[in-house]
C-alpha cells in the first residue's frame, strides 16, 4: 500500500519514526517533509499529501502537527479528502469504518509516539464498512 505522510515542525520526529516503522512493515511511503524542526507553515505540507491522495498517487495519507487541527483543516479544503483528526485508535478505526477517511491527522504535542503508531496502524488496517454509511459519506463533499 502506498502512503503519503507529512507534518509541520512539531511532528517531524513522530513522522520520521513512523516512516521507518511503516517501511519495515512493507508500506511504500512518500514523505512530503519537512525534515527539520525549523518553523514551517502546515498548509504547505497538508496540501501536498491531500493532492497525492486526491490524484490517487497514494491510497491514504498521514499528517502531524502540534494540535492536529491546522493540518487537518488544510487537508479538508480538498473536495476528495476526508481527513480525520484522531487522538485514539478507536477514533481512527471509526473514521475509516463509518466515514471512509482517507487521511488521518494527529496531534504530536498531545499523544505519545506509541499512541501515534497505534493510531496509524489501526487507520491503515481498517476498511470502510459501507452500507448505511455510504449514503452519508456521499453527502460530505460540497461540489
Whether 78 is catalytic is no
Question: Is 87 a member of any domain?
Answer: yes
Give residue 134's pLDDT: 92
Q: What is the mean pLDDT of the chain?
A: 97
Residues contacting 51, CB < 8 A, separation 6+: 57, 78
Question: Is 60 a member of any domain?
Answer: yes
Tens digit of pLDDT for each residue in 43-87?
Answer: 999 999 999 999 999 999 999 999 999 999 999 999 999 999 999
> In this structure, what CATH number is given to the domain that contains residue 114?
3.40.1400.10
How far is 37 from 143, CA to CA, in rounded Å? 37
Tens digit of pLDDT for each residue in 90-103?
Answer: 999 999 999 999 99
Question: Is 96 a member of any domain?
Answer: yes
Question: Is 10 a member of any domain?
Answer: yes
Question: Which residue among the candidates 9, 47, 65, 86 is catalytic per the annotation?
Answer: 65
Whether 65 is catalytic is yes
DSSP 50-112: HHHHHTTSSSEEEEEESSSHHHHHHHTTSTT--EEE-SSHHHHHHHHHTT--SEEEEETTTS-
Domain that holds residue 114: 2-137
Question: Which residue among the candidates 98, 133, 142, 143 is catalytic per the annotation?
Answer: 98
Tens digit of pLDDT for each residue in 112-129?
Answer: 999 999 999 999 999 999
Average of per-residue pLDDT across 97-111: 98
Give residue 92's pLDDT: 98
pLDDT for residue 143 is more than 90 = no
Higher pLDDT, residue 141 or 126 = 126
Question: Is 59 a member of any domain?
Answer: yes
Q: What 3-state DSSP class applies to 5? A: strand
Give residue 139's pLDDT: 87
Tens digit of pLDDT for each residue in 3-51?
Answer: 999 999 999 999 999 999 999 999 999 999 999 999 999 999 999 999 9
Name the nearest CA neighbour of 63 among 104, 24, 114, 18: 104
Q: Which three cell numbers stand for residue 102?
A: 482517507
Domain count, the chain: 1
Amino acid at each position: 500500500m502506498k502512503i503519503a505522510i507529512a507534518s509541520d515542525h512539531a511532528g517531524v520526529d513522530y513522522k520520521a519514526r513512523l516512516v521507518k516503522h511503516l517501511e519495515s512493515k512493507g508500506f511504500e511511503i512518500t514523505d512530503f517533509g519537512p525534515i527539520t524542526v525549523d518553523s514551517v507553515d502546515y498548509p504547505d505540507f497538508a496540501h501536498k499529501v491531500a493532492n497525492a491522495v486526491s490524484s490517487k498517487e497514494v491510497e491514504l495519507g498521514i499528517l502531524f502537527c502540534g494540535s492536529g487541527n491546522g493540518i487537518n483543516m488544510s487537508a479538508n479544503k480538498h473536495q476528495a479528502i476526508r481527513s480525520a483528526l484522531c487522538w485514539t485508535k478507536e477514533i481512527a478505526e471509526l473514521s475509516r469504518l463509518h466515514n471512509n477517511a482517507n487521511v488521518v491527522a494527529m496531534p504530536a504535542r498531545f499523544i505519545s509516539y506509541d499512541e501515534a503508531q497505534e493510531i496509524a496502524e489501526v487507520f491503515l488496517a481498517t476498511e470502510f464498512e459501507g452500507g448505511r454509511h455510504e449514503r452519508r459519506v456521499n453527502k460530505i463533499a460540497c461540489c
